[in-house]
């Protein structure tokens, strides 16, 4: 899906925000979240012990403002070299999980060939981790018990 005008404006605003807030070895990714009431930004936080991606920071800024309708999100990377323009990057696996849990229908702006596209968070992570355990039927347990019993019998049987 090609970008609409608000999405293009979000990419431009996030890029501009990153360039203005970029700090060597600290902030090389910025994320922008477009909500029903405005735009919220976040920076990647790079430390010697752990890193925090820009996307959860931007989402937290939106939620902190009671702005709960998350519509679009983009992450932009820049290495600080004026000869290399900033570029849109896809979210990492942890951020994909976060997006699916907090806003499964949010449009995530990602690179697609030489262009940009907007896809749902659910499209980026079709099989997310779920904290709810899968219900196992009695039949599943019986089959597993049968297999385990046969494996025990084979392991402990005399081959002669």
- 93-102 and 54-64 helices, crossing angle to 10°: 20
Give the pLDDT confidence score for residue 128 in this predicted structure: 85
Who's near 45: CB < 8 A, 6+ residues apart?
A: 26, 27, 51, 52, 57
Looking up tokens 């999100």 gives 73
DSSP string, 78-111: --S-TTS--EEE---HHHHHHHHHH-TTPEEEEE
CATH of 5-124, one of 3.40.140.10, 3.40.50.1220, 1.20.1580.10, 2.60.40.1930: 3.40.140.10
Asked whether the whole model's pTM tops 0.75, one would answer yes
pLDDT in tens, the chain (160 residues): 689 999 999 999 999 999 999 888 778 899 999 999 999 999 998 887 788 999 999 999 999 988 789 999 999 999 999 999 999 999 999 999 999 999 988 999 999 999 999 999 999 998 888 766 656 555 555 555 566 666 666 677 666 6
Alpha carbon distance 141, 155 (integer Å): 21
CA-atom Rg of the chain in angstroms: 23
Give the pLDDT confidence score for residue 1 in this predicted structure: 64
Give the pLDDT confidence score for residue 48 in this predicted structure: 77
DSSP string, 41-59: EEE-EE-SS-EE-HHHHHH
Give the pLDDT confidence score for residue 159 in this predicted structure: 63
Give the pLDDT confidence score for residue 127 in this predicted structure: 84
| Closest to 12 measured CA to CA, from 30, 37, 36, 24 | 30
Looking from the CA of 91 toward its CB, the CA atoms found within 13 Å total: 33
Tell me how far CA of residue 97 lies from CA of 114, 124, 126, 131, in angstroms. Answer: 26, 9, 10, 12
Give the pLDDT confidence score for residue 156 in this predicted structure: 72
Domain ranges, ordered by start, for the chain: 5-124
């Amino acid at each position: 899906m090609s970008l609409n005008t608000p999405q293009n404006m979000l990419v431009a605003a996030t890029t501009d925000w990153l360039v203005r807030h970029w700090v060597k070895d600290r902030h090389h990714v910025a994320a922008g979240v477009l909500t029903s009431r405005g735009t919220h930004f976040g920076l990647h936080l790079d430390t010697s012990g752990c890193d925090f991606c820009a996307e959860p920071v931007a989402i937290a800024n939106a939620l902190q403002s009671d702005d709960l309708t998350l519509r679009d999100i983009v992450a932009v990377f820049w290495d600080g070299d004026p000869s290399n323009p900033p570029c849109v990057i896809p979210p990492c696996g942890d951020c994909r999980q976060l997006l699916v849990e907090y806003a499964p229908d949010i449009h995530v702006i990602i690179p697609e060939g030489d262009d940009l596209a907007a896809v749902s968070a659910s499209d980026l992570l079709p099989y997310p981790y779920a904290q709810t355990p899968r219900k196992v039927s009695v039949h599943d347990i019986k089959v597993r018990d049968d297999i385990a019993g046969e494996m025990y019998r084979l392991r402990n049987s005399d081959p002669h």
